[in-house]
């Protein structure tokens, strides 16, 4: 994620407006390494518009704190980030409530089941469980993406305060992923009304043309906490399975998770 996007994200949660230049630089380097899977000092310096000596000093600091590893002249993020991510996820009550439920959901449907949450205006794939017929999609655990083009993201957006949704759309826009992606605000808001009425959102080839998804929001203590979704190929998620059977199973799963959160 570019540093300017990171700053926009911070603004969404009313973070302090002041920033520390050194921290900005460090995070810029880390984000670049995460996006590229590793890189050398020269490439980082060119991308971040810094002197190579400055980049080298920051990398040495990251290396000392075990946040990067060095392989020859290439630096890449270390598995320390994995430790932090797993710990952050485990501290969410939703993680413990949802894990057995989505495992059962993926078994019952044979498809891939997801739990997605919103953080800093982006959809974050929190958990995944794969059924026997599950196919690979663009999602992966930990991936952060736009919300308007995935079923789970739309399910969450439909239940956020309107001002929050406006901030998210203003910050990230409505980029077009396929010919089916909703890119007009008015159309998206109209879809939110349908989502609230029927209790679930759909993705009909809006992220990947041949993939469909259905998702329902998790509401607890009068706030949307995330969404549960099922994704699969169009030829399997079709007819009444797409419009009735899958939505019904997801709604049942969400009810169970909400009860677990409550008690």
How sure is the predictor about 260, in pLDDT bands with cuts at 50, 70 and 90?
very high
CATH classification at residue 180: 3.30.450.40
**Residue 70 sits in which domain range?**
3-78
| H helix and E strand count, the chain | 11, 8
Could you give the C-alpha distances from 193 to 159, 161, 174, 203, in angstroms and in order?
Answer: 10, 13, 18, 15
Do 167 and 196 fall within a single domain? Answer: yes
Do 28 and 153 fall within a single domain? Answer: no
pLDDT in tens, 156-171: 999 999 999 999 999 9
Contacts of 84 (CB under 8 A, 6+ apart): none
| DSSP letters for 135-172 | ---S--TT-EE-STTSHHHHHHHTTS-HHHHHHHHHHH
Bridge partners, residue 220, by sequence:
223
Could you give the C-alpha distances from 172 to 111, 137, 148, 179, in angstroms and in order?
Answer: 30, 22, 10, 19
Where is the domain boundary, 28, 63, 78? Answer: 78
Do 189 and 104 fall within a single domain? Answer: yes
How sure is the predictor about 17, in pLDDT bands with cuts at 50, 70 and 90?
low
Total structural domains within the chain: 2
Q: What is the dihedral of CA 180, 200, 106, 206, to 10 degrees?
A: 10
Burial class (CB in 10 A: 0-12, 13-18, 19+), 252: middle
Do 190 and 91 fall within a single domain? Answer: yes
Task: Please answer whether residues 152 and 228 qualify as being in contact, where contact means their C-beta atoms are separated by less than 8 angstroms.
Answer: yes
Do 48 and 96 fall within a single domain? Answer: no
CATH classification at residue 66: 1.10.10.10
The average pLDDT across 128-140 equals: 85
């Amino acid at each position: 994620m570019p540093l300017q996007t990171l700053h926009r994200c911070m603004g969404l949660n009313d973070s302090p407006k002041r920033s520390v230049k050194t921290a900005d630089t460090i995070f810029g380097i880390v984000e670049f390494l995460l996006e590229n899977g590793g890189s050398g000092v020269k490439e980082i310096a060119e991308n971040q518009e810094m002197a190579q000596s400055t980049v080298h000093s920051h990398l040495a600091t990251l290396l000392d704190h075990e946040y990067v590893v060095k392989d020859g002249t290439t630096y890449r993020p270390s598995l320390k980030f994995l430790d932090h991510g797993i710990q952050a996820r485990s501290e969410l009550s939703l993680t413990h409530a949802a894990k057995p439920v989505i495992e059962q959901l993926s078994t019952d449907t044979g498809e891939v089941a997801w739990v997605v949450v919103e953080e800093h205006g982006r959809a974050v794939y929190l958990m995944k469980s794969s059924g026997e017929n599950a196919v690979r999609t663009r999602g992966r655990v930990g991936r952060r993406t736009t919300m308007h083009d995935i079923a789970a993201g739309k399910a969450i957006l439909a239940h956020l305060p309107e001002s929050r949704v406006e901030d998210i759309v203003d910050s990230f826009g409505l980029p077009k992923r396929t010919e089916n992606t909703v890119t007009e605000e008015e159309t998206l808001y109209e879809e939110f009304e349908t989502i609230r009425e029927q209790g679930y959102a759909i993705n009909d080839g809006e992220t990947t043309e041949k993939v469909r998804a259905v998702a329902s929001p998790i509401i607890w203590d009068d706030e949307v906490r995330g969404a549960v979704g099922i994704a699969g190929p169009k030829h399997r998620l079709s007819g009444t399975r797409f419009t009735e059977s899958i939505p019904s199973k997801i709604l049942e799963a969400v009810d169970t998770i909400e009860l677990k959160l409550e008690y």
